[in-house]
Amino acid sequence: MIIAVDGPSGSGKSSTARGVATRLGLQYLDTGAMYRAVTWSVLEHGIDPADTETAAARARDLQLAISTDPQHQTVGADGTDITEAIRDPRISESVSKVAATNLAVRAELIRRQQAIIAAAQQTGGIVVEGRDIATVVAPEAELKVVLTADQEARMARRKAELAEGAVSAEQLRDQIVRRDADDSTVAQFLVASDGAVTVDSTHLSLEEVIDVICRLAKEAEAAPRDRES
């Protein structure tokens, strides 16, 4: 099966999706890491993110390798391991300029994401998390989840992910609020798509959120059998 997890920055999508994939024995795809990888490559090549044509060409030429093992996440770009590099604040500051405003980059990465999903369907299934998974990347997903949390909770979670003093409070708020505003211009991740279930994680632990989504997944998996019987 395909489980699509959408939601705003800091809502816990990555940790939740990895946990669900691990528990259910599925593959896992962090689509945000793919956009970060393209952003890293654009910056490394000295390309202005505002130069949409050149950035799109870089995205098409990029040899991108991303692990779908939920317990061992790696990202490679043109033979270089950038797993840690894509989490650098300079990438966070620029990723929306590449991902939100460049529709050609989005089209290229959506094509790659759909190929990964199709391959995963042959071996059991996948949990995919990002911005517009249920509406654009995998509208055929058996389970669609919009994972939300209030702004303060999202900022606290993002801060906990970063090294002490890595970003200022202003930079952190910019990463959360500004990125959501930018990305919402091209990805409808703040509104539940048809058939999607909204899960508010503000007052839930990670394990509790994973429990909820795993239960929903089992119900979704059983639904076709119920209809057949």
Asked if residue 10 belongs to a known ligand binding site, the reply is yes
d(CA 217, CA 199): 13
d(CA 184, CA 176): 12
Asked if residue 9 belongs to a known ligand binding site, the reply is yes
- Residue 177: other Cβ atoms inside 10 A: 16
Tokens 């989504």 locate to 213
Residues 6+ apart with CB under 8 A from 7: 13, 129, 145, 146, 147, 148, 189
Work out whether the CA dihedral 173, 37, 182, 137 comes out positive or negative: negative
d(CA 146, CA 6): 5
Asked if residue 67 belongs to a known ligand binding site, the reply is no
Q: Directed axis angle between helix 89-99 and helix 103-121, to 10°?
A: 100
Asked if residue 11 belongs to a known ligand binding site, the reply is yes
Asked if residue 14 belongs to a known ligand binding site, the reply is yes
Supply 227's token pair. Answer: 């209809």
Asked if residue 96 belongs to a known ligand binding site, the reply is no
Cα 52 versus chain centre, distance: 22
Asked if residue 168 belongs to a known ligand binding site, the reply is no
Asked if residue 144 belongs to a known ligand binding site, the reply is no
* Annotation: binding site for ATP: 7-15
* Annotation: binding site: 7-15
